[in-house]
Structure 1
Amino acid sequence: MTRIGFIGLGKLGLPVAMRLAKAGHDVIGFDRSADRRGEAAGRGLGLAGDGPAAVAGAAFVFTSLPDDAALKGALLADAGLVQALAGGAILVETSTVSPEASASVAEALAARDVGYLRSPVSGNPVLAEAGTLTAMASGPRAAFDLAVPVLEAFTKAQVYLGEAEQARYAKLAINLMIAVSAGMMADALVLAEKGEVPWAAMLDLMAESAVGSPMVKYKVPPLKTRDYSSTFSCGQMAKDLDLILGAASAAGLSLPYGDLARATYRDLIESGRSDADFIAAVERAEERAGLGPR
C-alpha cells in the first residue's frame, strides 16, 4: 500500500482517485469545491482539510487541475503544495496545461528534490472509471519507472516520452486531433443528412468504417439520441485550443486546422453551448445547414 495525496477531485480526478483507492493505495484527497469533496466522501474516499494536509508524508502526489492558473496557484503560491511535499516524493501532474506553466513547476520542484512526472491522460470520465485511460509521461526516467505500478491502477497504457515537457506537447497534439475530428464528423453528418442517409445508419457506418477511431465509436451512442451532455465541454475544448495555438506560436508554427477548430468553438460558445459536450459541433452544424432541431 502506497500513501498517495490527490489534489483535484473533478470529473476526471475523482474516478482516478477512486481507482487508486480500489487498487489498495492509501489515498487522501482534497478539492477546493465543497460539492466535489461531498461527492468524494460519498464514494468513500479519504479527505484532508486542505491541500498541504492531503500531501503531507505522501510518497506520490497526483494533481488533476483545470488550467494553468489553477496549477500554479495550487503548487507555487506562498502556502502552495511545493512547500508541503516531502523530499524524495514524486508529483504526478495529470492536467492539460501549457509547457510554460509546467516548466515553472518543474523548476520549483527541482529545488525541493521532488520528482516531477508530467503525465496528462487521454480519455474521459467513463474510461477513468473503467481504468482504461492512456497516460503519456515525461520527466525523470527513474520517477516514471517507480510510478508505472501506480499508473496501472487507472490506465491501460503508459507511454514514456522524454525527460522534459514532451508529454505536454503530446497531449496538446492529441487534443488538436480530437477537436478537428469533431468538426469533421459534424460536416460529414450534415452532408449525409442532406443526402437523406438515415441518421443512425450513418453513425453506425462511421463507427465501422476506416475513420472509426475510438473517439468516433465513443460518440456514436449519444449522437444517436442527440445527447450533448458534457463529458468534456466546448469551453474546455476552447481552453485547450488556446494552449495548442499558443504552443504552436511559440514554436514558430502555423496550424490552419487548429485555427479553424478554434473558430468553431468560439462560435459554439457564442451560441450558448459553452457547457455542452464538445461534440455539440454536430448540433451547430445542423443549425447552420437549416436542418433544425431533431
Structure 2
Amino acid sequence: MGAAMARNLQRHLAAQKAPNMLYCNRTMSRGDALKPLGGVPEPSFERVVAECGIIFTMVSNDAIHNNLMTTALGHSSGLKNKIFVDCSTIHPHTVGFTATKLQERDASFLAAPVFGGHPIAVDGKLVFALGGPRRAADAVRPLIQDVMGRRVIECGEDATRASLLKIAGNIVTVNMMEAVGESQVFAERSGLGTGPMEELISEAFGAVAGGYSKRLTSGAYAPPLDSRPGFGVSLAIKDADHAFAMANEHKVELPGLQVAQDNMVAAREYAGECLDSSSMYGILRQKAGMEFWNEKSRKGN
C-alpha cells in the first residue's frame, strides 16, 4: 500500500513542479516504479532525513518505527522545523513517545494512519486520520487531500488521537471480515452458494464488505507462497493486539474481536505466514466440515 501512496504523491509533486521525492526502503527494488515518475532512490534513511523537510514513513510495526526514529534523532545536523508524518498503525503510546522526542529537537510529528486496502490506495482514495501540531498539519494536508486520500479526518493537535482512531477503526474492519467469512461459509454449506451471497454483501453493505468477500471467493485469503498477501495476517493480529491493549487499559471488552483474533491465530498456525488478514475464513470453513482451502486458494487450484 505504501508503494501506491508514494506513486500518487510523486505524480503530484511532478505536476506541481516541486522537488522530486527521495524514497527509501529495506528492499529498494520495491520502489523501482517510482523512478520513471521522477522519484529518486536513497538507500540511507539518515540521508533522507538530512535532505527533506517533510518525511513520510509507513512501516509494519512499532519496533521498526522506533528504529527509524532512533536513526532520525541521531542525525547530527539537527531536525529543527522538520515534519515527520507516520502513516503506520502503531500504538498510541509509541506515537506519544515519538512526538515528545521530536518536539525536544524542534521537529514536529504527525500521526496519519490510513483506512482502505491496496486498490483504494492505488486510486488515491484512502481515508487518513491526522493528528499533531496544527502548523505541521496545515503544511502536510495538501500532500494528502486529493493526492493520496479522498478524506482527512482531523483529530486535533494530540497525535495519539489519530492512532487511537485507527485502532478503533480496525475493530470494525476485523469484525467485518469475520462476519463476511461466517456468512459465506453459511451460504456455501447451506447450498445457497457464494455468488448470490457476494452480490448481496456488495449491494447491501457496500464496496468495502464486498471487497472482503472477493478476497474469499477469489482465493486471495490464501495466496500462492511466492506472492504477497493483500494485508498479511500477522499485521492484522498485531493491530488487534493493540486494540486489546487499549481496551484493557480502559476496561472495555471486545468479544467479537476476540473471536476473529482466535481464528486468525489458528489460520496462521495451520497455514503459515503467507495469508491475508481475511484468512480466518479458512478456519471457519474447517469448523463447518470443509477444507481450509477453497478451489481458488493456493492449495485448491
* TM-score scaled by length of structure 2: 0.86
Secondary structure at 2:155 match in 1: strand
Name the counterpart of 1:149. Answer: 142
- Describe the shift of the 1:20–1:38 C-alpha distance in structure 2 as closer, same or farther (beyond 3 A): closer
Name the counterpart of 2:184. Answer: 189
Aligned residues: 278
In the alignment, the residues of structure 2 paired with residue 213 and residue 279 of structure 1 have an alpha-carbon distance, to the nearest angstrom, of 17
Q: What is the one-letter code of the residue matched to 1:13? A: G
In the alignment, the residues of structure 2 paired with residue 232 and residue 127 of structure 1 have an alpha-carbon distance, to the nearest angstrom, of 13
Larger displacement relative to structure 2 (269-278 or 160-169): 269-278
Q: How does 1:54-73 map to 2 (within 5 A)?
A: 54-73=48-67
Name the counterpart of 1:225. Answer: 218
Q: What is the one-letter code of the residue matched to 2:84? A: L
Q: How does 1:43-54 map to 2 (within 5 A)?
A: 45-54=39-48
Percent of pairs with identical residues: 22
In the alignment, the residues of structure 1 paired with residue 72 and residue 83 of structure 2 have an alpha-carbon distance, to the nearest angstrom, of 12
In the alignment, the residues of structure 1 paired with residue 271 and residue 116 of structure 2 have an alpha-carbon distance, to the nearest angstrom, of 25
- The answer on 1:23 being equivalent to 2:18 is no
Q: How does 1:112-261 map to 2 (within 5 A)?
A: 112-152=105-145, 153-164=147-158, 165-209=160-204, 212-228=205-221, 229=223, 230-261=229-260
Larger displacement relative to structure 2 (12-21 or 169-178): 12-21
Shift of 1:289: 0.7
Residues 160-211 of structure 1: CA deviation (Å, up to 9, x unaligned):
11221101110011111111111111111222223210221111111112xx
In the alignment, the residues of structure 2 paired with residue 208 and residue 141 of structure 1 have an alpha-carbon distance, to the nearest angstrom, of 39
The question of whether the paired residues in 2 share the 8 Å contact of 1:182 and 1:279 is answered with: yes
Root-mean-square deviation (CA, aligned residues, Å) is: 1.9
Q: What is the one-letter code of the residue matched to 1:231? A: G
Shift of 1:37: 4.8
* TM-score scaled by length of structure 1: 0.88
Shift of 1:45: 2.6
- Describe the shift of the 1:221–1:259 C-alpha distance in structure 2 as closer, same or farther (beyond 3 A): closer
The question of whether the paired residues in 1 share the 8 Å contact of 2:111 and 2:130 is answered with: yes
Secondary structure at 2:248 match in 1: helix
Secondary structure at 1:135 match in 2: strand
- Describe the shift of the 1:226–1:13 C-alpha distance in structure 2 as closer, same or farther (beyond 3 A): closer
The question of whether the paired residues in 1 share the 8 Å contact of 2:7 and 2:33 is answered with: no
The question of whether the paired residues in 2 share the 8 Å contact of 1:204 and 1:220 is answered with: no
Secondary structure at 1:286 match in 2: helix
In the alignment, the residues of structure 1 paired with residue 26 and residue 99 of structure 2 have an alpha-carbon distance, to the nearest angstrom, of 23
In the alignment, the residues of structure 1 paired with residue 153 and residue 25 of structure 2 have an alpha-carbon distance, to the nearest angstrom, of 28
In the alignment, the residues of structure 2 paired with residue 267 and residue 35 of structure 1 have an alpha-carbon distance, to the nearest angstrom, of 33
Name the counterpart of 2:93. Answer: 100
Residues 45-67 of structure 1: CA deviation (Å, up to 9, x unaligned):
31113001112232211000111
Residues 143-175 of structure 1: CA deviation (Å, up to 9, x unaligned):
212211111210000111122110111001111
The question of whether the paired residues in 2 share the 8 Å contact of 1:144 and 1:160 is answered with: no
- The answer on 1:285 being equivalent to 2:289 is no
- Describe the shift of the 1:120–1:107 C-alpha distance in structure 2 as closer, same or farther (beyond 3 A): same
Shift of 1:277: 1.2
In the alignment, the residues of structure 1 paired with residue 56 and residue 116 of structure 2 have an alpha-carbon distance, to the nearest angstrom, of 17
The question of whether the paired residues in 1 share the 8 Å contact of 2:28 and 2:41 is answered with: no
Name the counterpart of 2:83. Answer: 90
Larger displacement relative to structure 2 (102-111 or 48-57): 48-57
List 4+ stretches of structure 1 deviating above 6 A.
Answer: none
In the alignment, the residues of structure 2 paired with residue 180 and residue 231 of structure 1 have an alpha-carbon distance, to the nearest angstrom, of 17
Shift of 1:223: 3.1
Gaps of 5+ in 2: 224-228, 296-301
Q: What is the one-letter code of the residue matched to 2:11? A: K
Q: What is the one-letter code of the residue matched to 1:59? A: G
In the alignment, the residues of structure 2 paired with residue 29 and residue 215 of structure 1 have an alpha-carbon distance, to the nearest angstrom, of 30
